[in-house]
Structure 1
Amino acid sequence: MANTLRPAHQRELFGHPVGLYVLFFTEMWERFSYYGMRALLTLYMTAQTLENDPQSGLGWTSTEALALYGWYTMLVYVMGIPGGFIADRIIGQKKAVTIGAILLTCGHGVLAIDAVWAYYTGLGLVILGVGMLKPNISTMVGGLYKPNDIRRDKGFSIFYVGINLGSFIASLSVGLVAAVYGWHSGFGLAGIGMLMGLLVYLYGQRFLTHVGNEPTVEEKSSDISLSTLFGQLLKSPLQLGIVVVLLALSLYAGFTFEGPDHWGYGALFIVLSLITGMMMMIYKNLNGQVEKDRYVVLLLSLLMVMVFWGCFEQMGGLMNLYAQEKTNRMFLGWEVPAAWFQGANAGFIILLAVAIANFWARRKLKGKEASSLFKMGVGIIIMGIGFVYMVFASLQYESEGSSAMYWLVLAYLFHTIGELCLSPVSLSFFTKLAPARYMALMMGVYWAATGLGNKVAGIIGESSVKAGELKVFGGLFVFAVLFGVLVLLLLKPLKRLTHGAEDQETVLAREATEEVEMADR
C-alpha cells in the first residue's frame, strides 16, 4: 500500500525502481530489432538475385557483404559519440532515447521495402537510431539509483538480461519469418518489435521523470568540451606535429588504398588521428601521477576491448555465412534456418550469466585473483578457445563437404563465456579509471573502440575469401589465446598502475558477507 502512495518515479517492483522495468522492455525490443536484422544482414546481401521471389537477395560476394557488415557494425557504435554528446549537452537522455526509437522504427519500416535505395536508407536510419538510443538508455539505468546504492550492479544485470532476451527471441522469430516469407518480412518484423519498444517507453514516462532530463546551465558549463581540448592541442607543438603527420598519412592512405571504399578508410584514419590527438591532450592535462598511471591502464583496456570484439564479431559475419553455406543444418528432416544460430549467444547468456557472476564473486570473497584485468584476460582466452571448434568444423568440411551443427554451438558457448567474463566487466572498469571531468568524452571513446573492433572483424572476415576459413579460424585461436596470456603475464605491473582502484570493492564485499553470516547465526 505504501508503495502505491509514493510518486510514480519512486515506486518499486521486486526491490527495484519500476523505471528499471520500463527501460528493460524498451531495450529488449530495441535489441530484438537490432539483432533480428543483424542475423539477416550478411545472408540477405549474399543471397542470389531472383525475379519476383521473396528469397531474392542482393547477389553480393562474401567479400562485399562482409565489408559492408564491418562498416555498419562499426558506425552503429561510433555514432554513440555524437548521440551521447547531444544528450549530455543539449536535449537530455530521455528525449534522445525517444528520437532514437523513432529513427529505428522508421529505419526497419523502410528496410521492409524491396528496393536497393530502401536498403541503404534503412541502414542509415538504424545507425542513427542506435547511436541516439543505446548509450543514453544505459545512462538512464544508472540514474535510477542513488550514489553507493548496492542495488545498482544487480539492476544493470537485470537490464543486461533484457538485452539478451530480445536478441534470443529475435534470432528465432525473425530468422523463421525470413526463411518462410522472405527477407523483407523479417526486416518488417524487426521494425514491429522496435515499435513495441517505443510504445512501452512512452507509456512508462511517469516512472522516469527524475532521470535523463535536459542538462542544467551549471552542468553544461562544467563539462570539458572537444573545442577546449583541440584548442589546447594547437598550443602544444609536439602533440600538434604528431597529429599533423597522422592526418597526412591518413589522407595518403585514403587515396592510395585499393578498393571501392577507399574514401571510407581515409575518413576512418582521419577520425582516428583526431582521437589520438584528443587522448594525448587528456593525458597532458591530468592531475598527478595516479591519474596518469590509471589512464595508461585505461588505454590498454581499450586495446583489449578492440581485440575481443574484433574476434568475437565473426559471429554475425563470417560464422553466419559459414552456417548458411557450409554447415549441415538438417535436424529430424527439417533444415534449421542459419539465422537461428545467432540466438545461441543470447540463449547461453540467459542460462549462464548468473552462474558466472556468482563464480567470480565467490572467488573474490575467498581472496583469490578476481580483478577486472584478470577477468578480461581470461575472457579473451576462453573466447579464443571457441575458435578451435570452428577449426574442427573447417577440417570436417574439407573432408566431408559439410560440417556438423554442434561445432557452431560449441564455438558460441565458449564465445559467450568469454563475453560474460569481459563485456560486463570492461565498461565498469573503464568508469573506475577514467578521470571524472573527462567521463563523457571517455565513454564515447569506449564505444568507438567497440565499433573499431567490429570493423576489424569485418576486415578479418573479408580475408577468409582468399585465405580460407581454416586459416582464419586457426589464426584467431592462436592470436586471442596468446594475447590473453600476455595480459595475465603483465597483470601485476598493470594492477600497480591502477593504484588500488578496485581494492575498496573487495573490502566492502567481505564486510557484507561477514554481516550476512553473523545474521544467520
Structure 2
Amino acid sequence: MSTETVPNDFFKTKVLGHPAGLFVLFFTEMWERFSFYGMRSLLILFFTASLADHGWGWPRENASALFGSYVGLVYLSTMLGGYFADKVIGFRWAVVVGAVLMTLGHASMAVETQFSIYLGLVLLVFGNGFFKPNMTSIISEMYKDHPEKKDGAYTLFYMGVNAGAFFGILLCGYLGEKVGWSYGFGLAGIFMFFGMLQFWLSQNIFGTIGLKPNKESKAKADSLDNDKRNPFTTWQLVVMFISAALGLLWIINAPASKISNGSFDIFGFLGDYGNSIAIITALVLFLVLLIYRFTQYSVVTKEKLMAVTFFAFLTIFFWAIFEQSPNSLTIFASDYTNRVLEGNWSIVFLVINSLITVLPLAIITWVLVLLFRQTFKNYAVANIILSLSFVIIWAIALWMLAKDYYTAGLLELSDDTLSALKIDKVTEPLTEVPATWFTTLNSLFIISLAPLFSKWWESKYNPSANVKYAIGMTLLAIGMACVAFGAGDIAPGAKTASVSMVWLILVYLFHTMGELCISPVGLSYVSKLVPGRMIAFMFGVWYLAVAIGMKGAGMFGENIDKIANEKGLSYFFWILAFVSIAVAAISLVMSPVIKKLMHGVR
C-alpha cells in the first residue's frame, strides 16, 4: 500500500477546506448508510405486507415491536464495538469487521426465509456495533488539534451519512416495492461490500490513527490524560452486568412475547408486567452506577460528563419521535396518503424526482472527483473501486427513471428495449409514488441544508448547546403538527385515507432542520467534553441513549392503531408534537446550569 501519512498533519491535503481523510470516511460511511437505511426502509413494509405480496402479513403492532428492538440493538451494540476497538483490535479493524458482518447480514436477508431474515438482523446488529462508533472516533482523533473545525467536520460527515441514506432508500426502496423484497435487501449488501474495500485500501491516509493498540500507544494515551483513572470495581462490574443483562433480555423479549402471543416470554414468571419490571430495574441500577461513577472523577471532568449525560437524556426523546419516519410515518404514507398521480401532477412529480435523483448524485460525484485529485496517486485501487460503485449507482438510478417515465406513458420503449431493461409492459399509464420515497426527503434536505448549518455553527452567531437542542425539538414539534393537521379529517378507526402528500413533505423539511440542530452537534459535544482515553467508550454510551430512543420510537409505533381507533390518527401525532415542545422548554430552562457544567466548551 501507499506511503503512510505523517500523523497530525491531516490538513496538509485538503478537500473543501477539510482533510482528504475526512472524505474517505465520508464515502465509507455513505455506503454503510446506503445499506442500513435501504434495508430499514423496507422492513416495516415487508413485515406488514400480505402473504400474496410475498410479505409476512404481520399486524402493525408486532412489526413496530420488532423494528424498535432491532434498531435499538443496532445502537446498543456500539458499546461492545467501542470496547473491542479501544482495547483489542483498534478502530480500523473494527470498521472492517463490522462491514463484513453487515455484508453477510444483507446477503442473508436477500434469501428471504424466516431463518435467514432473523439471522440477517442479528448479523446487522453486531456489524453496526463494530462499525458505527469507530468511524466517529477516527474523526475525533483527526481534529483533536483543530477543535474549532469539529462542528463543521461532523456536519459534512453527516452529509455523507445522508447521501448514503438518500440513495439507499430511493433505490433499495424502489426495488423492494416495485420489483421484489430480495432485490432491495440484496442491493444493500453489495454497496456495503464496496464501502469496506475502499476504506481498507485507503487506510494509510489516517496515519497512526486507529491502529491495533499496543503497550506503547496505551502508555502514550495515558501520558496525555492528566485525569485520574478509575477502574471498575467488582461490585460495579456486577451491577453493570445485571443492568445490561436485564436490558438486553428485555429488548429481545418485548417483541418476542408479542409475536409469539405469549408462548415465549422470558419474564413471564413476573406476571403481566414482567417486561416493565425488568426494564425499570435495569434503568435504576444503571442510574445508581452512573451517579456513583460521577463522584469518582475530578470536579471539571465530572461536570463535563454530567453535561454529556443531560444532552444524552434529551437525545432519547428526539430519536423516539424523529424515528417515526420508517415506522408510523411510513404507515401513514402507505395507507393514508394519496400517492397516485395523473396528468400534469404526474409529469411534475417525475421531473422533480429526476432532479432530486440526478442533482445530488452529480454533487456527490463532484466531491468524488475532488477527492481523486488529492488521493488517486497514492490510493489508485481504492479510487477505482469507489468509481465503479458510482457507475453502478448511476446505472440503477437511470434505469429507475426510465421505468417511471415509461410507466407514466411519457416514454416509448420497444419490446426489445423493455426486455433488455427488465421492464414489464404496461397497458394503463399511471404514476404511483412509492411509500418509501417520502423518507428520502430527510436525506435530500440534509444534503441541501448541511453546508448552511455548518457555516452557521462556525460563525459568530453560533448558539449555545441548549439553544440548539431547543430549536431542534421545536422544529420537530412543528413537523408533527403538520401531519397531525393533515390527518385531522381521518375518522377514528379508518384503515385508509387519501391525505395530500404536501403534509408529509412539510414533516420531513422541519424534521430535517431539527435533526441538523441536534444529531451531528451532539456527537461533536461528546468529542469536546470527554477525555481522550474515554472517547470511544463514551461514544458507545451516547449510542446507548440513542438505542433507548430507537426502542421508544418502536413503542410509540406499537400504539398507533390503538390510539387511532379510539381518538383518531391526528391525536397520535399531536401527542408527539406536545412531547417535543416540552423537551424544548426543558432544554432552555436548564441552559444556565449546563453552560456552567461545560466549563467554556462551545
Task: Give me the TM-score of the superposition, normalised by structure 1.
Answer: 0.84
For 2:44, the equivalent position in structure 1 comes to: 42
For 1:172, the equivalent position in structure 2 comes to: 170
Superposed, 1:235-246 pairs within 5 Å as: none
For 2:520, the equivalent position in structure 1 comes to: 424
For 1:460, the equivalent position in structure 2 comes to: 556
Matching of residue 397 in structure 1 with residue 493 in structure 2: no
Highest RCO, 1 vs 2 (Cα 8 Å, sep ≥ 6): 2
Matching of residue 336 in structure 1 with residue 424 in structure 2: no
Stretch deviating more after TM superposition (193-202 or 356-365): 356-365
Superposed, 1:135-150 pairs within 5 Å as: 135-145=133-143, 147-148=145-146
For 2:197, the equivalent position in structure 1 comes to: 199
Matching of residue 229 in structure 1 with residue 232 in structure 2: yes
Contact 2:154 2:524 in 1 (8 A): no
What is the Cα deviation at residue 358 of structure 1?
3.0
- 1:311 is matched with which residue: 321, 328, 331? 321
Contact 1:229 1:281 in 2 (8 A): no
Q: Over aligned residue pairs, what C-alpha RMSD do you find?
A: 3.4
Distance 1:213 1:170 in 2: 30
For 1:507, the equivalent position in structure 2 comes to: none
Matching of residue 74 in structure 1 with residue 72 in structure 2: yes
For 1:505, the equivalent position in structure 2 comes to: none
Distance 1:249 1:33 in 2: 27
What is the Cα deviation at residue 393 of structure 1?
2.4
Deviations 1:402-461 (A, max 9, x none): 211111110111111111111121122233333555444332211100010000010011
Distance 2:98 2:252 in 1: 31
Matching of residue 349 in structure 1 with residue 451 in structure 2: no
What fraction of aligned residue pairs are identical, expressed as a percent? 34
Q: Secondary structure at the match of 1:263?
A: coil
What is the Cα deviation at residue 181 of structure 1?
1.4
Matching of residue 474 in structure 1 with residue 574 in structure 2: yes
What is the Cα deviation at residue 492 of structure 1?
2.2
Superposed, 1:105-184 pairs within 5 Å as: 105-145=103-143, 147-148=145-146, 151-184=149-182
Contact 1:233 1:277 in 2 (8 A): no
Contact 1:254 1:263 in 2 (8 A): no
For 1:409, the equivalent position in structure 2 comes to: 505
Q: Flag the structure with higher helix content.
A: 1
For 1:483, the equivalent position in structure 2 comes to: 583
For 1:518, the equivalent position in structure 2 comes to: none
For 1:499, the equivalent position in structure 2 comes to: 599
Distance 2:563 2:244 in 1: 30
Distance 1:291 1:485 in 2: 27
- 2:296 is matched with which residue: 285, 299, 322? 285
For 1:29, the equivalent position in structure 2 comes to: 31
Aligned length: 485
Give unpaired runs (5+ residues) of structure 2. 268-274, 347-429
For 1:190, the equivalent position in structure 2 comes to: 188
For 1:323, the equivalent position in structure 2 comes to: 333
Q: Secondary structure at the match of 2:57?
A: coil
Contact 1:32 1:166 in 2 (8 A): yes
Distance 1:226 1:78 in 2: 25
Distance 2:489 2:30 in 1: 37
Code of the aligned partner of 1:30? E
Judging changes above 3 Å, is the alpha-carbon distance between structure 1 residues 225 and 177 closer, same or farther for their aligned structure 2 residues?
farther
Q: Secondary structure at the match of 1:500?
A: coil
What is the Cα deviation at residue 177 of structure 1?
1.0
Judging changes above 3 Å, is the alpha-carbon distance between structure 1 residues 268 and 99 closer, same or farther for their aligned structure 2 residues?
farther
Judging changes above 3 Å, is the alpha-carbon distance between structure 1 residues 268 and 120 closer, same or farther for their aligned structure 2 residues?
farther
Stretch deviating more after TM superposition (308-317 or 426-435): 426-435
Judging changes above 3 Å, is the alpha-carbon distance between structure 1 residues 437 and 206 closer, same or farther for their aligned structure 2 residues?
closer
Distance 1:98 1:250 in 2: 25
Distance 2:117 2:519 in 1: 31
Stretch deviating more after TM superposition (438-447 or 150-159): 150-159
For 2:266, the equivalent position in structure 1 comes to: 263
Matching of residue 56 in structure 1 with residue 152 in structure 2: no
Judging changes above 3 Å, is the alpha-carbon distance between structure 1 residues 371 and 213 closer, same or farther for their aligned structure 2 residues?
same
Judging changes above 3 Å, is the alpha-carbon distance between structure 1 residues 170 and 396 closer, same or farther for their aligned structure 2 residues?
farther
Q: Secondary structure at the match of 2:461?
A: helix
Code of the aligned partner of 1:276? L
Superposed, 1:368-383 pairs within 5 Å as: 370-383=463-476
Distance 1:248 1:334 in 2: 49
Contact 1:93 1:137 in 2 (8 A): yes
Task: Give me the TM-score of the superposition, normalised by structure 2.
Answer: 0.73
Stretch deviating more after TM superposition (407-416 or 353-362): 353-362
Code of the aligned partner of 1:309? W
What is the Cα deviation at residue 220 of structure 1?
4.6
For 2:415, the equivalent position in structure 1 comes to: none
Contact 2:315 2:549 in 1 (8 A): yes
Matching of residue 447 in structure 1 with residue 558 in structure 2: no
For 2:374, the equivalent position in structure 1 comes to: none
Stretch deviating more after TM superposition (263-272 or 458-467): 263-272
Distance 2:216 2:431 in 1: 62
What is the Cα deviation at residue 321 of structure 1?
1.3
Contact 2:28 2:199 in 1 (8 A): yes
Deviations 1:263-295 (A, max 9, x none): 38477556545533431232120213x444433
Contact 2:247 2:279 in 1 (8 A): no
